[in-house]
Structures are given as C-alpha cells and as structure tokens.
Amino acid sequence: MDVAGGRELAWDGCVNVRDLGGLGRIRPGAVVRMEAPTRLSESGWAAAWAHGVRTVVDLRHADECRPDVAPRPPGMTTVRIPLDPVGTPFYERWQKIDNLASPLYYPAVLAEHPEPVVAAVRAIATAAPGCVVFHCAGGKDRTGLLALVLLTSAGATPEEIIADYLLTFERMRRRYAELGFGDQLAAVNERLAGHDTTIAASLTSTVGSLTMPDFLLDNGLSEADLAALRARLTT
C-alpha cells in the first residue's frame, strides 16, 4: 500500500508533491511539501491554484533559484526564507560532515540556528487564507526539516514523519538520475551508518528532542502566531 495514503498530488512538471493532511492533526489542504516548482507547467500551476495554494514559501538561497518554466498565477504570493545558515561556522562544519543532506544535521541546526526555521513556521502561520506550499530544491532536506517541525507540532508520530521523509527518495529517483547522482537513499544510509545511526533513529531522536509548543515560543513565535498556526493546520 502507498504510504502516502492518497496525499500525493499530480501537478504537471513536478514529481515530489504531497499534501501533509492526514498526518497528526493536520487537515487536508493546509500545507503541501514539494521540490522546487521551477518545472511546473501552466497546467501544473493551475492544479496548484485549484488545490487552494495562495502562498509559496521558498526555503532556498537566492543563488539557487532559476526562472520558472511557466508563470505563477496572479494572486499567488512567494515568500523567500533561506533555511540553511550559509556563511556561518555551523554551515562550514556541517558541509564537511554530511553536506546538510541527511537528517543527521537536524538536531544541531534546531539547537544552534532555530530562527530561520521559526521564521518559516511564522510565514506559514500568517500567510493569506488558502493552502501554503513550502519547498527547497529537491524537497528532501530543508523541506523535510520544516515538515518535521510542523508535523511534530501537530502531533504526528515519528513513524508518520519517517514514512513521509522516505517518500522523497523514490519520487525524486528519476530527477537524481538526470543530475548524474547515484542512489541517494543508499548514500544517506551509508553516511548515517558511519555515525552509528539510521534515518529512522535520527528522525526519531530529533522528534523526541522537540517539546512543542515550547520550541516555537522559546525561539520567537508569538502566542498569536501559534494560534494562527494551529488554526491553519487543524481547523
């Protein structure tokens, strides 16, 4: 059975698009995760609009961005919140450890640089009415980190979060091959094995380290924004 549970969305031009509704207390149509929407066709953007998307939160740095194949619908807002702390000692250190391309760095970034993550949560909480899409480049690591925070805040289990994270490897397999990359799941498993852990153990540990809503409130999210987040995700 497909662990996506019917959450997958067919938006022409992209392959890694899914609604987080049904995980924890998140309602369908609240938030969608995906890879960069650069390849979305006109009909792909129309499908996003029909799904209710009115805000796109881009977690990439400006130098990663490329022009869209087709124009975004008028009335759809894009908010850019780079999630990786580029230019910091943290970034240089973790590039050497795992190239910020596995769940291994999640606990460290949440502890040392929580502000961009909370800023992205705030952008989702305070977005205009409608569905919010969030993405990075491949929809795996930065997108996976923000998904983990949102899902944990909404009471999703570690098992749900792990299963959702793993879906990206299969969905992006062809894209990775086009870029000349090998089996990314095997690469991440090997990297984590070198640190005596696994994807499941690493994600479970990260989820267990997050006390919600304290993590969000202690790192700058206001009570009003927390209420807005709950309303968006669960009502």
DSSP output for 160-225: HHHHHHHHHHHHTHHHHHHTT---HHHHHHHHHHTTT--HHHHHHHHHHH--TTHHHHHTT--HHH
* DSSP H or E run through 226: helix 223-234
State the alpha helices, DSSP H only, in 81-153: 89-97, 106-112, 114-125, 142-153
Q: Where are the domains of the chain?
A: 18-231
**Confidence band of 4 (pLDDT split at 50, 70, 90):** low
Residue 141 burial (10 A CB sphere; 0-12, 13-18, 19+) = buried
| pLDDT, mean of residues 67-87 | 97
pLDDT, tens digit, 9 for 90 and up, residues 105-116 = 999 999 999 999
Instruction: Write down the pTM of the prediction.
Output: 0.96
- For residue 137, pLDDT beyond 80: yes
CATH of 18-231 given 3.10.129.10, 3.40.50.720, 3.30.460.10, 3.90.190.10: 3.90.190.10
The confidence score (pLDDT) of residue 2 equals 41
Beta bridge partners of 19: 32
pLDDT, tens digit, 9 for 90 and up, residues 16-38 = 999 999 999 999 999 999 999 99
Whole-angstrom Cα distance, residue 196 to residue 226? 36
Q: Are β-strands 31-34 and 18-19 bridged in parallel, bridged antiparallel, or unpaired?
A: antiparallel
Q: Comparing C-alpha atoms, which of 104, 102, 106 is closest to residue 114?
A: 106
